[in-house]
């Protein structure tokens, strides 16, 4: 079960990134072109947040069944000094959780904005902050610290 969920979580990250990039790009283009915030924009916001929340569920499930996290908690004094174990038990999980909080808060703020311009601006700001956190905390295959394949 662990390996299956890990594979799904790994592939689902691409949907998270694509949905965020699409939302941010659309917000920039529509902001510059003075477009009205449409029902499609609302749909994109909801889909992006839903994709994030599903990734959160996958991530939490993985966290509680991960052998790396179990190893970390069984011997924290040693685990804190092992980069890979510490990364998954503390850094990755915390920063991804923060990014999901940022996307969720941003989505609520976007929903309550009155003008199209302010909705697009909020989308850009909140989703870009989350994207930056995510990009910095994914265990990319080229990362010198902790790496994983882009596709399992």
Report the pLDDT value the prediction gives residue 143, as an integer from 0 to 100: 75
pLDDT in tens, 100-141: 999 999 999 999 999 999 999 999 999 999 999 999 998 888
- Mean pLDDT (the chain) is 93
Cβ proximity of 120 and 31 under 8 Å: yes
Mean pLDDT of 47-70: 95
pTM for this structure? 0.90
For the chain, which residues make up each domain, given as ranges? Answer: 2-137
Q: Is the pLDDT of residue 149 over 70?
A: no
Closest by Cα among 52, 38, 44, 147 to 99: 52
Report the pLDDT value the prediction gives residue 84, as an integer from 0 to 100: 86
Cα separations in angstroms, 131 against 38, 54, 123: 23, 16, 12
């Amino acid at each position: 079960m662990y390996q299956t969920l890990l594979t799904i979580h790994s592939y689902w990250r691409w949907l998270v990134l694509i949905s965020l990039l699409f939302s941010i790009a659309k917000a920039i283009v529509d902001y510059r072109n003075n477009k009205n915030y449409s029902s499609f924009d609302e749909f994109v916001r909801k889909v992006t947040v839903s994709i994030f929340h599903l990734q959160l569920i996958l991530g939490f499930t993985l966290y509680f069944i991960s052998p790396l996290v179990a190893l970390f908690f069984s011997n924290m004094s040693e685990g804190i000094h092992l980069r890979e174990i510490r990364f998954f038990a503390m850094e990755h999980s915390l920063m991804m959780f923060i990014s999901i909080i940022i996307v969720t808060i941003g989505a609520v703020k976007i929903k309550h904005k009155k003008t199209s311009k302010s909705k697009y601006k909020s989308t850009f700001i909140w989703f870009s902050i989350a994207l930056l956190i995510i990009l910095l905390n994914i265990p990319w295959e080229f990362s010198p610290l902790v790496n994983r394949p882009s596709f399992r």
